[in-house]
Amino acid sequence: MTSSPYFAPVNNSISTFKDNIFEGKVLFCTGGGSGICKGMTESIMRHGANAVIIGRKFDRLTEASRELSERTGRTCIPIQADVRQPQTLQAAAERTMEYFGRIDFVICGAAGNFMSPISGLSENAFKTVIEIDTLGTYNTVKATIPHVRATKGAYVHVSATLHYRGTPYQVHVSAAKAGVDAISNVVAVEEGPHGVRSNVLAPGFTSGTEGMRVMSGNKTNKTEGFSNPLGRFTEIHDVANVAVFLFSPAACYITGQVLPVDGGAEHLRGDFFPYPSSVVDPSSVRKLLKGKM
């Protein structure tokens, strides 16, 4: 008899963790208006925390904060800021302190992505992604670290698995996320003696996100050519569950780590599109490519 492959369930953090483990805590999250970061914010709020979400699009932030507050019964406030501009993050941190009086947890999640070969990638496009992901992470740490020291809190940085191997058309994101991983490691070493922890989450291809839309050419349920030991794409809940764990007292001795949340896909990863034909003839994947910003 032939057995069917295992297909991992999708669990919600409230089925595992107590609902009050973050009572009285405050989360500061860049990129929290949508996608993975919004999902992580919701899960952390469901366990008792209040939150501030930061981004450039105030309309999106306002709607997201309203939804998060209604779903969780906690307070979420939107603050418009650009992670590339340190002064706006400093102002966001100061406003958070005025409103809540503390910052316990920080998610560095602002990111940008698109597909482009190096030969078609402008210097400005490469620089923009580095500024959002890498410099934005640095700026967020700088703006919040005095407050996180005071609460002996923790950082979670959102990275990726793209730079573990060479990923065609992703040189900008690969370089940016490698920098994010390095920043987290240094924060862990420098700030550990002050009681601050720092870890990285590296989601795999995650359903229902902008990154998945970009990588799959708008086909968010595309599975052909995809292999995963646990049988499916990453879900936002999967990443949120790990964020809850990393901020929880259960992870009090975990710092300076990078945790891929990809169902083991990286061990089997091939190319997301045909290789080498897609590199020799970029026109074959033209719909996915954006050469300049």
- Beta strands 26-30 and 258-261, pairing class: unpaired
* Token pair recorded at residue 50: 């209040």
Distance from C-alpha of 203 to C-alpha of 238, rounded to nearest angstrom:
9
- Does 57 qualify as catalytic in the annotation? no
Count other Cβ atoms within 10 Å, centred on residue 197. 25
Q: Which helix (H) or strand (E) holds 203?
A: strand 197-203
- Does 159 qualify as catalytic in the annotation? yes
Query: Which is nearest to 212 in space by CA: 233, 243, 228, 240?
Result: 233
* Token pair recorded at residue 277: 């034909």
Among the listed residues 34, 159, 198, 216, the single catalytic one is 159
Among the listed residues 43, 174, 177, 278, the single catalytic one is 177
Task: Kindly state the greatest CA–CA separation across the chain.
Answer: 64
Q: Which helix (H) or strand (E) holds 46?
A: helix 35-46
Q: Which residues are catalytic?
A: 159, 177
